[in-house]
Amino acid sequence: MSIFVDENTKVVYQGLTGSQGRYYGLLNRDYGTQVVAGTNPKKAGEDVEGIPIFASVADAVAATGANASCIFIPAPGVRSAVMEAAEGGVEFIVCITEGVPAQDEAWFYNELERNFPRVQLLGPNCPGIISPGKCNIGITAGHIAQAPVEGQHNVGIVSRSGTLTYQALYELKLQGIGVTTCVGIGGDPVPGTSFIDCLERFEADPATSAVMMIGEIGGSAEEEAAAFISASMSKPVVAYIAGQTAPPGKKMGHAGAIVSGGKGTAAAKMEALTGAGVQVGANPTEAGELMVGVVRSL
C-alpha cells in the first residue's frame, strides 16, 4: 500500500503551461502518474502533449475526475491557487512553489482547516510526494526510488529537507529496500502537512514496516513528532537531524530552519527523539545504515 497517493490518483497541474510545470508534469506522467489535466484560463481548450488544459480546477475535476492537484506557479499566485484547488473539489494539494509569504501560508492553512477539513495540503516549498512504482507528484527523481517489494519489509520516509530526501531514497535503493511512500513536507514555517500527519498514516499502513524521518533545526516539529512516536507508534523509527553545526540566530536554508535562543537546536531534537526510542544517526549515511539494520532485524 501507500499513503496519500497511489496508482489511482488523478492529478491536475496548476501551471502546466509554464516551463517548470510542463517539465515536471510531463516527467511525472512519463513515470506513470495519471496526469489528467492542466489549468490556465487563457489557454483553455489547448493541450500540452495531449494533456488537456482547462480554465479552472473545477472544470478539470468535472471533466477528468481529478482528485489531486500540483501547484507550479509563482509565489504571489499560490494563495489563490490553493483555494481554487480546494474549492474545485480536489482533496490532496501539492504545492512545490518556494518563496510563498508566511502570512499567505498561515492564511490558507487556517482557511483549509476551517472550511475544507478533508483537503490535505503538502508544502509549500517542498519536493512533493512519491509512492514508488505508483505515483510521483513533484520534483523527486523517480529512478532513485525503490518500489516496495511484496513479501519484504518496506519503509516510509518523511522529510523536511528535499536534498536529504533524495539521499535517503537512493541509499535504501542501493540496499534493495523498498519504499511505500516518501513525503517531502518542506521546511517553511507553516507547512500544510506535518511529521505527525505522515507518521500517523505510516503507522496505520500495513505495508510500511518502519519509518525514516529527516528533520532539521528550527521550530518544534521534531519534538512534537517525538512525543507522538512515544505515545502512538509501534513501528521502529530512524531519524537524522540536519544543521547540527549551525550557529544560533542564523537562518540556514529553509525559512523555518533557524535556531532562536536555546530552542530549535539539533541537540534538543536529537535528545527528544532518542528519548522516544528513535535511533538517530549522526549523519545521513549513518541514518541509512541504521535503517538497513532495522529492516534486516524485523
Domains of the chain: 10-122 (3.40.50.720), 141-297 (3.40.50.261)
Whole-prediction pTM: 0.95
For the chain, helix, strand, coil in percent to 5 are: 35, 25, 40
Exactly one of 83, 254, 264, 279 is catalytic; name it.
Answer: 254
> Which one, of 242, 227, 154, 243, lies nearest residue 194 by Cα?
227
pLDDT one-digit tens code per residue, 218-236: 889 999 999 999 999 999 9
Distance CA 210, CA 159 (A): 14
263 has pLDDT over 70: no
Q: Is 143 a catalytic residue?
A: no
Please report which confidence band the pLDDT of residue 163 belongs to, taking 50, 70 and 90 as the band edges: confident
Q: Which of 126, 127, 124 is nearest to 76 (CA)?
A: 124
pLDDT value for 39: 98
Is the per-residue pLDDT at 161 higher than 90?
Answer: no
Contact (Cβ atoms closer than 8 angstroms) between residue 135 and residue 150: no
Question: What's the pLDDT band for 250 if we cut at 50, 70, 90?
Answer: low
Question: How many Cβ atoms are within 10 Å of 297's Cβ, its own excluded?
Answer: 9
Sheet of 279-281, strands arranged across: 135-138, 128-131, 179-184, 154-159, 208-216, 237-242, 279-281
